[in-house]
Chains A and B, each alone.
Chain A
Amino acid sequence: MKKKIWIAVASVALLFLVYYYWQNRYVKLYPVVPNEILQRPMFFSEIFHNQLFKFADPNEVPKYYYKNIKYVLDRECQEYIVKNGEIYIKYKYMHDMELIWNYTTKTSNLEWFKSQREMDSINGDIEKQKELDCIIKKLSFK
Protein backbone atom coordinates (compact mmCIF):
# COMPACT_ATOMS: atom_id res chain seq x y z
CA MET A 1 0.00 0.00 0.00
CA LYS A 2 2.80 2.38 1.01
CA LYS A 3 4.56 1.64 -2.26
CA LYS A 4 1.44 2.51 -4.23
CA ILE A 5 1.11 5.85 -2.42
CA TRP A 6 4.74 6.64 -3.15
CA ILE A 7 4.27 5.79 -6.83
CA ALA A 8 1.17 8.02 -7.00
CA VAL A 9 2.96 10.92 -5.27
CA ALA A 10 6.03 10.49 -7.50
CA SER A 11 3.83 10.44 -10.62
CA VAL A 12 2.04 13.65 -9.62
CA ALA A 13 5.38 15.29 -8.81
CA LEU A 14 6.83 14.16 -12.13
CA LEU A 15 3.80 15.48 -14.02
CA PHE A 16 4.10 18.79 -12.21
CA LEU A 17 7.82 19.01 -13.06
CA VAL A 18 7.14 18.25 -16.73
CA TYR A 19 4.37 20.87 -16.77
CA TYR A 20 6.60 23.40 -15.03
CA TYR A 21 9.44 22.75 -17.47
CA TRP A 22 7.05 22.95 -20.45
CA GLN A 23 5.60 26.28 -19.36
CA ASN A 24 8.94 27.87 -18.46
CA ARG A 25 11.17 26.68 -21.29
CA TYR A 26 12.36 29.46 -23.56
CA VAL A 27 10.96 29.61 -27.08
CA LYS A 28 11.67 31.99 -29.90
CA LEU A 29 9.57 35.14 -30.01
CA TYR A 30 7.60 35.63 -33.22
CA PRO A 31 5.47 38.63 -34.22
CA VAL A 32 1.73 38.02 -33.96
CA VAL A 33 -1.09 39.60 -35.97
CA PRO A 34 -4.90 39.20 -35.90
CA ASN A 35 -6.22 36.16 -37.72
CA GLU A 36 -9.15 36.71 -40.02
CA ILE A 37 -11.31 33.82 -38.90
CA LEU A 38 -13.80 32.51 -41.41
CA GLN A 39 -15.78 30.29 -39.03
CA ARG A 40 -16.57 32.39 -36.00
CA PRO A 41 -16.43 30.38 -32.77
CA MET A 42 -19.95 29.73 -31.46
CA PHE A 43 -19.09 28.26 -28.09
CA PHE A 44 -16.22 28.55 -25.59
CA SER A 45 -14.69 31.44 -27.52
CA GLU A 46 -12.36 32.30 -24.59
CA ILE A 47 -10.90 28.76 -24.60
CA PHE A 48 -10.11 29.09 -28.29
CA HIS A 49 -8.98 32.68 -27.88
CA ASN A 50 -5.64 32.08 -29.61
CA GLN A 51 -7.57 31.32 -32.81
CA LEU A 52 -8.09 35.06 -33.16
CA PHE A 53 -4.34 35.48 -33.78
CA LYS A 54 -1.60 33.98 -35.91
CA PHE A 55 2.14 34.28 -36.41
CA ALA A 56 2.79 37.05 -38.90
CA ASP A 57 3.87 36.16 -42.41
CA PRO A 58 7.02 38.06 -43.48
CA ASN A 59 4.94 40.66 -45.36
CA GLU A 60 2.70 41.21 -42.32
CA VAL A 61 5.46 42.05 -39.82
CA PRO A 62 5.21 45.72 -38.77
CA LYS A 63 8.01 47.75 -40.30
CA TYR A 64 9.75 48.62 -37.05
CA TYR A 65 9.11 45.34 -35.24
CA TYR A 66 12.71 44.08 -35.23
CA LYS A 67 14.12 47.53 -34.37
CA ASN A 68 11.78 48.25 -31.46
CA ILE A 69 10.71 44.91 -30.00
CA LYS A 70 13.44 44.82 -27.33
CA TYR A 71 12.51 48.33 -26.24
CA VAL A 72 8.83 47.35 -25.97
CA LEU A 73 9.66 44.21 -23.96
CA ASP A 74 11.81 46.23 -21.56
CA ARG A 75 9.06 48.82 -21.12
CA GLU A 76 6.51 46.10 -20.41
CA CYS A 77 8.86 44.45 -17.85
CA GLN A 78 8.68 41.27 -19.93
CA GLU A 79 11.52 38.87 -19.15
CA TYR A 80 13.39 37.54 -22.17
CA ILE A 81 16.81 36.29 -23.23
CA VAL A 82 18.82 36.89 -26.38
CA LYS A 83 20.60 33.97 -28.04
CA ASN A 84 22.54 34.45 -31.28
CA GLY A 85 20.72 37.74 -31.86
CA GLU A 86 17.28 36.11 -31.53
CA ILE A 87 14.83 36.93 -28.72
CA TYR A 88 13.48 34.07 -26.61
CA ILE A 89 10.69 34.25 -24.03
CA LYS A 90 9.07 31.68 -21.80
CA TYR A 91 6.52 29.42 -23.46
CA LYS A 92 3.75 30.50 -21.05
CA TYR A 93 4.07 34.05 -22.37
CA MET A 94 4.47 33.05 -26.00
CA HIS A 95 1.35 30.90 -25.67
CA ASP A 96 -0.64 34.05 -24.83
CA MET A 97 -0.93 35.15 -28.45
CA GLU A 98 -2.88 38.26 -27.53
CA LEU A 99 -0.10 39.44 -25.24
CA ILE A 100 2.44 39.05 -28.06
CA TRP A 101 0.03 40.78 -30.46
CA ASN A 102 0.00 43.72 -28.02
CA TYR A 103 3.81 43.83 -28.08
CA THR A 104 3.88 43.47 -31.88
CA THR A 105 1.52 46.40 -32.50
CA LYS A 106 3.31 48.61 -30.00
CA THR A 107 6.57 48.36 -31.96
CA SER A 108 5.08 50.63 -34.63
CA ASN A 109 2.59 52.62 -32.59
CA LEU A 110 3.83 56.21 -32.68
CA GLU A 111 1.15 57.37 -30.21
CA TRP A 112 2.24 54.78 -27.65
CA PHE A 113 5.89 55.88 -27.91
CA LYS A 114 4.82 59.51 -27.54
CA SER A 115 2.83 58.65 -24.41
CA GLN A 116 5.91 56.90 -22.99
CA ARG A 117 8.00 59.98 -23.81
CA GLU A 118 5.53 62.19 -21.96
CA MET A 119 5.59 59.82 -19.00
CA ASP A 120 9.41 59.87 -18.88
CA SER A 121 9.37 63.64 -19.10
CA ILE A 122 7.11 63.90 -16.01
CA ASN A 123 9.13 61.21 -14.20
CA GLY A 124 12.41 62.98 -15.03
CA ASP A 125 13.96 59.95 -16.78
CA ILE A 126 16.24 61.96 -19.07
CA GLU A 127 18.36 59.02 -20.25
CA LYS A 128 15.33 57.10 -21.52
CA GLN A 129 13.99 60.22 -23.23
CA LYS A 130 16.92 60.38 -25.65
CA GLU A 131 16.36 56.81 -26.79
CA LEU A 132 12.65 57.46 -27.16
CA ASP A 133 13.24 60.65 -29.15
CA CYS A 134 15.31 58.62 -31.58
CA ILE A 135 12.53 56.01 -32.03
CA ILE A 136 9.80 58.68 -32.35
CA LYS A 137 11.84 60.49 -34.99
CA LYS A 138 12.16 57.33 -37.06
CA LEU A 139 8.49 56.42 -36.68
CA SER A 140 7.37 59.93 -37.61
CA PHE A 141 9.09 59.61 -40.98
CA LYS A 142 7.72 56.17 -41.84
Chain B
Amino acid sequence: MNTSTFEFGIKNDLKSSEYTNLFGDPFWGEAGSLKARILYLQLSEKEKALMLKANYIKMIEKARERNFYMAADCLQWWLDGTGSTKNIDFHWLRNNNEVIVAEGINIERFEDRLNLKNYDKILTKEGDYKEYTNELQHQFTGGIFRELYYMSGTSTITSKANFRITRVKDDLVLSGSIIHKWWDRYDWHKGANVYIPSFGYVKDSDALLVEKYCGAKPFEMRGEWQQNFNKAFKIGFLGNINFKLK
Protein backbone atom coordinates (compact mmCIF):
# COMPACT_ATOMS: atom_id res chain seq x y z
CA MET B 1 0.00 0.00 0.00
CA ASN B 2 1.16 3.51 -0.78
CA THR B 3 1.79 5.28 2.51
CA SER B 4 2.77 8.62 0.99
CA THR B 5 0.58 11.73 1.14
CA PHE B 6 -3.04 10.85 0.73
CA GLU B 7 -4.82 11.93 -2.44
CA PHE B 8 -7.69 13.42 -0.43
CA GLY B 9 -5.30 15.79 1.33
CA ILE B 10 -3.85 17.04 -1.94
CA LYS B 11 -7.32 17.76 -3.29
CA ASN B 12 -8.19 19.81 -0.22
CA ASP B 13 -4.81 21.50 0.11
CA LEU B 14 -4.04 19.80 3.42
CA LYS B 15 -0.54 18.86 4.50
CA SER B 16 0.07 15.51 6.11
CA SER B 17 1.08 17.32 9.32
CA GLU B 18 -2.43 18.76 9.46
CA TYR B 19 -3.95 15.29 9.45
CA THR B 20 -1.71 14.48 12.37
CA ASN B 21 -2.72 17.60 14.23
CA LEU B 22 -6.40 17.20 13.52
CA PHE B 23 -7.32 16.45 17.11
CA GLY B 24 -4.29 17.99 18.78
CA ASP B 25 -2.52 16.35 21.69
CA PRO B 26 -4.43 16.90 24.95
CA PHE B 27 -1.67 15.16 26.89
CA TRP B 28 0.68 18.09 26.11
CA GLY B 29 -2.15 20.65 25.97
CA GLU B 30 -1.74 21.12 22.21
CA ALA B 31 -4.75 22.15 20.16
CA GLY B 32 -5.46 20.59 16.79
CA SER B 33 -5.15 22.42 13.51
CA LEU B 34 -8.14 24.77 13.19
CA LYS B 35 -8.07 24.59 9.40
CA ALA B 36 -8.11 20.80 9.43
CA ARG B 37 -10.78 20.72 12.13
CA ILE B 38 -13.18 23.07 10.28
CA LEU B 39 -12.78 21.07 7.12
CA TYR B 40 -13.20 17.79 9.01
CA LEU B 41 -16.54 18.87 10.50
CA GLN B 42 -17.91 19.67 7.05
CA LEU B 43 -17.05 16.27 5.68
CA SER B 44 -19.39 13.35 5.05
CA GLU B 45 -18.78 10.13 7.03
CA LYS B 46 -16.95 8.57 4.09
CA GLU B 47 -14.71 11.60 3.63
CA LYS B 48 -13.99 11.63 7.35
CA ALA B 49 -13.00 7.97 7.10
CA LEU B 50 -10.60 8.78 4.24
CA MET B 51 -9.02 11.55 6.26
CA LEU B 52 -8.69 9.29 9.31
CA LYS B 53 -7.17 6.61 7.10
CA ALA B 54 -4.50 9.12 6.13
CA ASN B 55 -3.92 9.69 9.84
CA TYR B 56 -3.38 5.94 10.37
CA ILE B 57 -0.96 5.83 7.43
CA LYS B 58 0.99 8.62 9.08
CA MET B 59 0.90 6.62 12.32
CA ILE B 60 2.46 3.62 10.52
CA GLU B 61 5.26 5.85 9.20
CA LYS B 62 5.91 7.28 12.68
CA ALA B 63 5.93 3.78 14.21
CA ARG B 64 8.58 2.64 11.70
CA GLU B 65 10.65 5.75 12.46
CA ARG B 66 10.62 4.65 16.13
CA ASN B 67 11.61 1.09 15.11
CA PHE B 68 8.19 -0.19 16.21
CA TYR B 69 8.05 -2.46 13.17
CA MET B 70 5.69 -5.04 14.64
CA ALA B 71 3.16 -2.39 15.75
CA ALA B 72 3.41 -0.80 12.28
CA ASP B 73 2.97 -4.15 10.51
CA CYS B 74 -0.13 -4.96 12.56
CA LEU B 75 -1.73 -1.56 11.93
CA GLN B 76 -0.96 -2.02 8.22
CA TRP B 77 -2.43 -5.55 8.30
CA TRP B 78 -5.64 -4.10 9.77
CA LEU B 79 -5.74 -1.12 7.38
CA ASP B 80 -5.20 -3.38 4.35
CA GLY B 81 -8.15 -5.52 5.48
CA THR B 82 -6.06 -8.70 5.33
CA GLY B 83 -8.14 -10.33 8.09
CA SER B 84 -7.66 -13.96 9.21
CA THR B 85 -4.82 -14.70 11.67
CA LYS B 86 -1.42 -13.04 11.88
CA ASN B 87 1.21 -15.24 13.48
CA ILE B 88 3.51 -13.27 15.72
CA ASP B 89 7.05 -14.60 16.13
CA PHE B 90 7.39 -15.90 19.67
CA HIS B 91 11.01 -14.68 19.85
CA TRP B 92 9.72 -11.16 19.38
CA LEU B 93 6.98 -11.72 21.96
CA ARG B 94 9.42 -13.08 24.52
CA ASN B 95 11.70 -10.09 23.99
CA ASN B 96 8.99 -8.10 25.74
CA ASN B 97 9.39 -8.09 29.50
CA GLU B 98 5.59 -8.03 29.97
CA VAL B 99 5.30 -11.40 28.19
CA ILE B 100 7.99 -12.98 30.37
CA VAL B 101 6.26 -11.64 33.49
CA ALA B 102 2.89 -12.98 32.27
CA GLU B 103 4.42 -16.37 31.50
CA GLY B 104 5.97 -16.37 34.99
CA ILE B 105 2.63 -15.64 36.67
CA ASN B 106 1.06 -18.70 35.05
CA ILE B 107 4.07 -20.85 35.98
CA GLU B 108 3.83 -19.70 39.61
CA ARG B 109 0.15 -20.59 39.66
CA PHE B 110 0.98 -24.07 38.38
CA GLU B 111 3.56 -24.36 41.17
CA ASP B 112 0.92 -23.42 43.78
CA ARG B 113 -1.44 -26.05 42.45
CA LEU B 114 1.24 -28.76 42.27
CA ASN B 115 2.25 -28.03 45.87
CA LEU B 116 -1.37 -28.51 46.99
CA LYS B 117 -1.62 -31.94 45.35
CA ASN B 118 0.44 -33.67 48.08
CA TYR B 119 2.30 -35.85 45.61
CA ASP B 120 4.84 -36.69 48.30
CA LYS B 121 2.08 -38.57 50.16
CA ILE B 122 0.47 -40.15 47.06
CA LEU B 123 3.64 -41.35 45.36
CA THR B 124 5.22 -43.52 48.03
CA LYS B 125 6.89 -46.34 46.08
CA GLU B 126 9.80 -46.14 43.65
CA GLY B 127 8.46 -45.64 40.11
CA ASP B 128 4.98 -44.47 41.18
CA TYR B 129 3.79 -41.69 38.93
CA LYS B 130 0.87 -39.32 38.32
CA GLU B 131 -0.03 -37.21 35.32
CA TYR B 132 -0.91 -33.55 35.83
CA THR B 133 -2.75 -31.58 33.17
CA ASN B 134 -4.15 -28.10 33.62
CA GLU B 135 -4.69 -24.80 31.88
CA LEU B 136 -4.44 -21.20 33.12
CA GLN B 137 -4.99 -17.83 31.56
CA HIS B 138 -3.49 -14.45 32.34
CA GLN B 139 -4.36 -11.09 30.83
CA PHE B 140 -1.85 -8.29 30.71
CA THR B 141 -1.27 -4.84 29.25
CA GLY B 142 1.96 -3.63 27.68
CA GLY B 143 3.80 -0.67 29.23
CA ILE B 144 2.89 2.75 27.77
CA PHE B 145 6.38 3.33 26.35
CA ARG B 146 6.70 -0.18 24.91
CA GLU B 147 5.81 -1.42 21.45
CA LEU B 148 3.51 -4.15 22.77
CA TYR B 149 1.14 -1.48 24.10
CA TYR B 150 0.65 -0.02 20.62
CA MET B 151 0.46 -3.39 18.96
CA SER B 152 -2.08 -5.09 21.16
CA GLY B 153 -2.99 -3.11 24.28
CA THR B 154 -4.31 -5.87 26.50
CA SER B 155 -3.70 -9.47 25.47
CA THR B 156 -3.98 -12.96 26.95
CA ILE B 157 -1.54 -15.77 27.54
CA THR B 158 -3.03 -19.26 27.89
CA SER B 159 -0.65 -21.82 29.37
CA LYS B 160 -1.30 -25.56 29.14
CA ALA B 161 0.75 -27.75 31.44
CA ASN B 162 1.30 -31.43 30.87
CA PHE B 163 3.50 -33.03 33.49
CA ARG B 164 4.40 -36.46 34.79
CA ILE B 165 5.53 -36.61 38.41
CA THR B 166 7.50 -39.76 39.22
CA ARG B 167 8.92 -41.03 42.49
CA VAL B 168 12.65 -41.75 42.13
CA LYS B 169 14.18 -42.75 45.50
CA ASP B 170 13.67 -39.74 47.81
CA ASP B 171 12.99 -37.35 44.96
CA LEU B 172 9.97 -36.47 42.87
CA VAL B 173 10.93 -35.98 39.23
CA LEU B 174 8.75 -33.63 37.24
CA SER B 175 8.97 -33.96 33.47
CA GLY B 176 6.84 -32.54 30.72
CA SER B 177 6.03 -29.20 29.16
CA ILE B 178 4.02 -26.01 29.27
CA ILE B 179 2.68 -24.72 25.96
CA HIS B 180 2.09 -20.96 26.11
CA LYS B 181 -0.35 -19.47 23.63
CA TRP B 182 -0.38 -15.70 23.34
CA TRP B 183 -3.42 -14.26 21.60
CA ASP B 184 -5.34 -11.09 21.04
CA ARG B 185 -7.94 -9.81 18.62
CA TYR B 186 -6.89 -6.66 16.80
CA ASP B 187 -10.20 -4.84 17.01
CA TRP B 188 -11.79 -1.65 18.32
CA HIS B 189 -14.55 -0.83 20.77
CA LYS B 190 -16.94 2.10 20.45
CA GLY B 191 -16.39 4.56 23.28
CA ALA B 192 -12.80 3.49 23.96
CA ASN B 193 -9.69 5.50 23.18
CA VAL B 194 -5.95 5.12 23.45
CA TYR B 195 -3.14 7.63 23.88
CA ILE B 196 -0.57 7.59 21.09
CA PRO B 197 2.40 9.98 21.29
CA SER B 198 2.28 12.66 18.53
CA PHE B 199 -1.33 11.74 17.80
CA GLY B 200 -3.03 12.34 21.15
CA TYR B 201 -6.05 10.33 22.30
CA VAL B 202 -7.12 8.32 19.28
CA LYS B 203 -10.73 7.22 19.46
CA ASP B 204 -11.68 3.66 18.62
CA SER B 205 -14.76 5.04 16.87
CA ASP B 206 -12.39 6.60 14.26
CA ALA B 207 -11.02 3.13 13.51
CA LEU B 208 -14.55 1.74 13.25
CA LEU B 209 -15.34 4.44 10.67
CA VAL B 210 -12.25 3.44 8.66
CA GLU B 211 -13.43 -0.19 8.85
CA LYS B 212 -16.86 0.84 7.55
CA TYR B 213 -15.69 2.86 4.54
CA CYS B 214 -12.10 1.92 3.75
CA GLY B 215 -12.05 -1.88 4.01
CA ALA B 216 -9.95 -2.15 7.17
CA LYS B 217 -10.68 -5.40 8.99
CA PRO B 218 -10.11 -6.84 12.49
CA PHE B 219 -7.95 -9.94 12.75
CA GLU B 220 -6.55 -12.43 15.23
CA MET B 221 -2.95 -12.35 16.46
CA ARG B 222 -1.34 -15.51 17.78
CA GLY B 223 2.00 -16.72 19.02
CA GLU B 224 2.96 -20.06 20.57
CA TRP B 225 5.99 -21.54 22.29
CA GLN B 226 6.84 -24.47 24.51
CA GLN B 227 8.88 -24.80 27.68
CA ASN B 228 10.20 -28.25 28.60
CA PHE B 229 10.89 -29.34 32.14
CA ASN B 230 12.81 -32.20 33.66
CA LYS B 231 13.57 -31.43 37.27
CA ALA B 232 14.06 -33.42 40.44
CA PHE B 233 12.67 -32.10 43.73
CA LYS B 234 13.83 -33.31 47.12
CA ILE B 235 11.17 -34.35 49.57
CA GLY B 236 11.71 -32.29 52.70
CA PHE B 237 12.47 -33.54 56.21
CA LEU B 238 8.78 -33.25 57.17
CA GLY B 239 7.64 -35.00 53.99
CA ASN B 240 6.74 -31.77 52.24
CA ILE B 241 7.71 -30.83 48.70
CA ASN B 242 8.16 -27.47 47.06
CA PHE B 243 7.88 -27.43 43.28
CA LYS B 244 9.81 -24.53 41.75
CA LEU B 245 9.68 -24.47 37.99
CA LYS B 246 11.36 -21.13 37.26
Which one, A39, A46, A119, contacts B192 given CB within 8 A? A39
Interface residue ranges of B72-131 to A (CB < 8 Å): 101, 109, 113, 116-117, 130-131
Are B117's CB and A38's CB within 8 A? Answer: no
Number of B residues whose C-beta is below 8 Å from A? 28
**With a CB–CB cut-off of 8 A, which chain A residues contact B3?**
none
Given contacts A36-B189, A76-B113, A77-B116, whether A52 and B154 have CB atoms under 8 Å apart is yes
Which one, A38, A43, A49, A109, contacts B191 given CB within 8 A? A38
Are A112's CB and B135's CB within 8 A? Answer: yes
Q: Given the complex of chains A and B, what is the CA–CA distance between A46 and B138 in angstroms?
A: 11
Which one, B101, B113, B192, contacts A38 given CB within 8 A? B192
Chain A interface bracket (under 10, 10 to 19, 20 to 34, 35 or more): 20 to 34
Are B133's CB and A116's CB within 8 A? Answer: yes
**With a CB–CB cut-off of 8 A, which chain A residues contact B135?**
106, 109, 112, 115
Interface string of A115-130 (1 = CB under 8 A from B): 1101100110000000
Are A115's CB and B133's CB within 8 A? Answer: yes
Are B193's CB and A39's CB within 8 A? Answer: yes
Given contacts A37-B192, A40-B194, A102-B136, whether A119 and B131 have CB atoms under 8 Å apart is yes
Binding site for B on A (CB under 8 A): 34, 36-43, 45-46, 49, 52, 76-77, 98-99, 101-102, 105-106, 109, 112, 115-116, 118-119, 122-123
Binding site for A on B (CB under 8 A): 101, 109, 113, 116-117, 130-141, 143-144, 153-154, 160, 189, 191-195
